[in-house]
A = this chain, B = another copy of it.
Amino acid sequence: MSKIIVGHDGGVATVTLSNPGKLNAIDVSMWNGLTEAFSGLSRDESLRCIIVRGADGNFAAGADIEEFASVRSTLEQGMHYHTRTIADALEAIANCLHPVVAAIEGVCVGGGLEIACACDLRIAAPSARFGIPVTRLGFPLAPGEYIGLLQLVGRATALEILLEGRVFDAAEAREKGLLHRIVADVPAEARNTAARIAQGAPLAARMNKKLARRLSPVPEPLDEQELRDAFSFLTSHDYREGVQTFLAKTKPVFTGK
């Protein structure tokens, strides 16, 4: 049965996409499960990082197309499917309080790649495969999902991916700006990356994630309250800890306070 599995290991949570026998194709229950999982994790202030992965050697093959006849057949269904079901899941990842790392092995196509694009960092195996071949399926990319792709790779590369509809390897994905790095042992590098993130101050990481989306692609000026929030670290324990230990050349212990 398809499912979203959430695990914990210290301050790092792992979210696993699982749809056995279907390369983890994402059905409506999994999109809803992602929304729920990330909403819950976002409220857990003890966390420092979240890793997203797929079960059994693949990230995700895309949306579950067998479902389309029942969940995405009319205009109303299709708009609900994309502007609510999928959009809610992708926003729950993108706006999650904590940094999110995608650990990508095997197939990472269509909706799977959209999930990866909503994460903050993307690490992949050399043999992973990427693409959004929707034009071969007779439809264009939905606008909300398109924005995520455009903000990551820009217009020229987004159009190449969509117009040609090719599936391509990790080296090409990295050249296109889809990946931060390619490594042989993806689970190990994902853990190490999460550990590096967890070594920093949690409030700083959360503000860095939030401001990245607030200030790009359009750098709208912050209002007075947002500005004070951005500088609220000045009254935090972790700021004093960070500066003191830096000057004393000792190791900081950050508490998220």
Contacts and interface: CB of A to CB of B under 8 A. Distances in A.
Interface stretch (A7-15, A35-43, A235-243): A235-243
Nearest to A251: B136
Contacts of A136: 199-201, 242, 246, 252
A160 to B, nearest CB: 5
Given A156-B180, A166-B196, 20 more contacts: A65-B246, A65-B247, A75-B231, A99-B159, A120-B156, A121-B159, A135-B200, A135-B204, A136-B200, A136-B246, A138-B201, A139-B238, A146-B215, A151-B154, A154-B216, A163-B196, A163-B208, A163-B209, A217-B218, A218-B218
> Quick one: copies of this chain in the complex?
3
Interface stretch (A16-24, A26-34, A52-60, A66-74): A66-74
Given A159-B99, A164-B193, A150 B200 contact: no
For chain A, give the interface size range. 35 or more
Given A65-B246, A134-B204, A135-B200, A212 B140 contact: no
Interface of A: 65-66, 68-69, 72-75, 77-79, 82-83, 99, 120-122, 134-143, 146-147, 150-152, 154-160, 162-166, 177, 180, 193, 196-197, 199-201, 203-205, 207-209, 211-213, 215-219, 222, 227-228, 230-236, 238-243, 246-247, 252, 254
